[in-house]
Amino acid sequence: MVNRSSVYRSLATMMIFAVVSGLLVNASFLIFTKASGQAFSGTVHGAGGVPVVGAIVIASGDNGSGYAVTNSQGQYSIADGLKNGSYTVTAMANGYLYNETDNVQVTAGHATTGINIYLHLSGVISGRVTENGTGIPLSNVMLMASLSNGSGSFMGQAATDANGNYTIAMNLATGTYNVSTFITEGHIEKTVGGINVIAGQEVKNINLELDRSGVIWGRITVSPGGQALANAHVSAYSSGYTYMGSDETNATGYYRISSGLGTSTYTVMVTYGANPPNMTSGVSVTAGAETRVDLSMSVSPPAPSGIIMGKVTDMSSQPIKRAHVSADGDTTPSSGSATADDQGNYVISSGLENDAYTVTASATGYTSVNTTGVSVTVNQITSNINFQLPKIPPAQSGTISGTVQGDENPIPEFASPIVILIILTVTVVLFARRLKVKTNRTEML
């Protein structure tokens, strides 16, 4: 019997870097546009009072979050977005292990002081990724280093440069690690194990040669009728889930799975909404070769719905990316939601019956705003339901301050901050925590 929990873990791990990619730009924007009058403050130091310059300090809680970068004295200050509540304060810096302080209580209009964090040195793993047989360097390959015992306590990540070189220089404590590749377009993922890491030292020449992937492609259509089925999810997995890959169909119903497929026999499965999946087994794939698989699906038409659309901006009319917008019926239990795109535009296109709705827009660091009495008619568009969200004012945001101390970094090339890598580490760690909680809950059922 397949251990579904293990499969879900594997799939979620493969998705980590996709999640990171989506959040990276927004996180960078948040970090570098913080106002100078922040109210969540402290300092980051190395051993003997040496400041850790360019560390990122993050406060996250159920009622908000805030970000800051330490200055030349290791000082940080975060004021925006911290409503009353309990927060976790995390400090990350290149060349160090992350560390945090939990249960930091914040009261709007007041300062919480003495939140000090000490950073210990990270080990370093570096190497090169090339194509097996040709030696061609592979760029933009994502790699993750994790403890071989699977504990998940420490992990680091990196991406290869134009020459295939990578360096993982954060969050690696002394221990034995595996280094794995992910999202290797056109190739098969690979793991190298048994890497002994010592904090403060670099392990070089951990090189990986990747085999070319097989390709499964084809077209998904609706049965009966034969129309193209767009946005259907197509996955392929071999026996025991040794190899797997996935893609979504385009507007003409075509898909192409071109990564992660070694020579083996596969099951190809297509899913679309709440409809029963369709699958076929015994699909033979050869690494480096292409195999076509066409499938059709019986698709139930979606329930008719009205549409609400509009835009979410700040008070300066700048778009708020990934703002959440929800609509709740006044007299019916119908509801719908959407996430704003990079231009702040949103569209709620399902779940809306004939009714008047309360539409609410919210985003981290902003005060939520709602509009009542929004009339919706099935199969019609209600447009221009726009929102301008004010930043949470300082009077409603608390203050946290302190210091972050750590070991002096003996590896000169990793003394300077690399902000993107730090953001990457923070995001993966927070995602892994949420995954662990969800997995534990699943196993209890």
Domain positions in the chain: 1-203+392-445, 215-287, 307-378
Please state the rounded mean pLDDT for residues 105-130: 89
Closest CA to 200 of 363, 406, 379, 362: 406
Structural fold of domain 215-287: Immunoglobulin-like (2.60.40)
307-378 — its CATH code?
2.60.40.1120
What is the structure's pLDDT at 118?
Answer: 87
Closest CA to 214 of 261, 254, 283, 282: 261
In whole numbers, what is the pLDDT of the chain averaged over residues?
82
Query: Residue 352, Cα to own-chain centre: how many angstroms?
Result: 29
| 257-316 confidence digits (pLDDT tens) | 999 999 999 999 999 988 999 999 999 999 999 999 999 999 988 789 999 999 999 999
Greater confidence (9 vs 346) lies with 346
Q: ∠ CA(11), CA(16), CA(22), 5° rounding?
A: 130
What is the structure's pLDDT at 289?
Answer: 96
Residues 221, 253 contacting (CB under 8 angstroms): yes
What is the structure's pLDDT at 116?
Answer: 84
| 179-203 confidence digits (pLDDT tens) | 999 878 999 999 999 999 999 999 9
Q: What whole-number percentage of the chain has pLDDT above 70?
A: 78
What is the structure's pLDDT at 414?
Answer: 55
The total of other beta-carbon atoms located within 10 Å of residue 4's CB is 10
What is the structure's pLDDT at 46?
Answer: 52
Please state the rounded mean pLDDT for residues 25-41: 37
Binning pLDDT at 50, 70 and 90, where does residue 43 land? low
Intrachain domains 215-287 and 307-378 with the same fold: yes
